[in-house]
Amino acid sequence: MSTPRILFNSGIGPAEQIKNVQSGSTGITVPPQAEWISLPVGQNLKDHPMFTITVNTGSNFTAYNTSSVMSVPSARDRRLFAQGSGVLTQGGHRLQFWTSNVGSDGVTRFYQGSCSPSADGGITMKLYLTHGATSSGVLGINDAGSTTLVSDPWLQTTEDKDAVTKFLDNLLSDLSKSFSVKGVSTASDILNDMTSGDHWVGTAKMGLDDGRENGTSVVDTNTKVYGTENLYIVDASIHPDLPTGNTQAIVMVAAEAAVARILAQDNTQGSASTSVSSMAAIPSSTASAVITGGSIGESAATPSLVVVTTTKTVMVTQTHTVTVMPTL
């Protein structure tokens, strides 16, 4: 979510967003307009929409009090945890289900339900449209330097909305045969309470169609930003589409592949000392930029770009990859 902000601040992206930085209150000096790189940064924003319902099962089961276990675990629970077992090693969701349907556009959409006891006799279901969505949104930057949703990424197409409505109506029909759903009678009631799945991807899309030439991509298949010599992005923003699950795995897989590709592009350099400094990302052959992710609304005052000069050093974390290359 912060990768676009870093790029906007560096003169990379749609001119409208860079001008927001230029005229804003952050005091950031962007490169001269002649040096801006026009790429579709912030476009193709995708996220899983999430819907939550509470089901009264009519049963007399007692919900486990996880709050008390987390705050004051018993000696037994602590002992089991040390052995990799017990309630402290388990998630709250006790049942998962998956299903799919085919939309009017012929696209198959997939859904996941995560069920957990929320009260005695009650179950909370978190429902996701996981894969196959055709909707996307746009991320921009405001004059205060914070990222902002220009348009939402959830259920923007009629086909997405109709398919999700069909899924929810079918689920409610099945549940009503044995249970009751609190405060909900139709799919529209559920859609009105839609929330983010917090699995954001796509704002610096990877692809072969160069965004400078009316394409949709910000980085090439080596994770290098089009129009630059040594600026690489490896985080969830480069993924063109959502995974079925959360984003950690796809970021780690991309990072592992990116390490080899980035280093392969510079396999003839000698050793160099390491230095670290903060600076704007600009097309340059003097150092490599490191881009990391962040949250929507994050202040522009937060340091978010580091330049490192060294020899073939790559640091990989769970959520993003830091890539560095030698000084030329």
- The stretches in the chain having pLDDT less than 70 are 266-328
β-bridge mates for residue 305, sequence order: 291
- pLDDT 10s digits, 214-270: 999 999 999 999 999 989 999 999 999 999 988 999 999 999 999 999 998 866 444
- For the domain that residue 164 is a member of, what is the CATH number? 3.30.410.10
Domain residue limits at 128: 49-63+91-196
Q: Are residues 11 and 96 in the same domain?
A: no
Q: Are residues 232 and 309 in the same domain?
A: yes
Burial (CB count <10 Å: 0-12, 13-18, 19+), residue 185? exposed
pLDDT at site 88? 85
First vs last C-alpha separation in the chain: 31
Q: Residue 79 domain-assigned?
A: no
Q: Residue 80 domain-assigned?
A: no
Q: Residue 237 domain-assigned?
A: yes
Q: Are residues 137 and 242 in the same domain?
A: no
- When divided into structural domains, the chain yields a total of 2
Q: Which of residues 196, 227, 259 is at a domain's end?
A: 196
Q: Are residues 55 and 133 in the same domain?
A: yes
pLDDT at site 67? 75
Q: Can you spell out the DSSP letters for 187-225? A: HHHHHTT-EE-S--B-TT-B-SSBGGGT-SBSB-TTSBB
Alpha-carbon distances of 194 from 98, 151, 173, rounded to whole Å: 19, 15, 19
Q: Residue 54 domain-assigned?
A: yes
Q: Residue 72 domain-assigned?
A: no
pLDDT at site 279? 37
Q: Under a CB-based contact definition with an 8 Å cutoff, are residues 202 and 241 in contact?
A: yes
User: What gap in Å lies between CA 79 and CA 237, rounded to an integer?
Assistant: 41
Q: Are residues 129 and 221 in the same domain?
A: no
Neighbours of 52 (CB within 10 A): 15
Q: Which of residues 180, 196, 212 is at a domain's end?
A: 196
Q: Residue 178 domain-assigned?
A: yes
User: What gap in Å lies between CA 253 and CA 326, rounded to an integer?
Assistant: 24
pLDDT at site 249? 94
Q: Are residues 209 and 273 in the same domain?
A: yes
Q: Are residues 151 and 267 in the same domain?
A: no
pLDDT at site 281? 43
Q: Are residues 101 and 129 in the same domain?
A: yes
Q: Which of residues 196, 223, 250 is at a domain's end?
A: 196
Q: Under a CB-based contact definition with an 8 Å cutoff, are residues 129 and 166 in contact?
A: no
Alpha-carbon distances of 27 from 6, 30, 31, 147, 305, rounded to whole Å: 14, 9, 13, 16, 16
Q: Are residues 225 and 270 in the same domain?
A: yes
- For the domain that residue 20 is a member of, what is the CATH number? 3.50.50.60
Q: Residue 119 domain-assigned?
A: yes
pLDDT at site 269? 45
Return the half-sphere exposure (C-beta side, CA atoms, 13 A cut-off) of residue 29.
2
Q: Are residues 176 and 222 in the same domain?
A: no
Active-site positions read: 199
pLDDT at site 48? 98
Q: Are residues 253 and 317 in the same domain?
A: yes
CA 280 centroid distance within chain: 23
Q: Residue 59 domain-assigned?
A: yes
Q: What HEC string does 251-309 produce?
A: HHHHHHHHHHHHHHCCCCCCCCCCEEEECCCCCCCCCEEEECCCCCCCCCCCCCEEEEE
Q: Is the pTM value of this prediction over 0.75?
A: yes
Q: Under a CB-based contact definition with an 8 Å cutoff, are residues 308 and 287 in contact?
A: yes
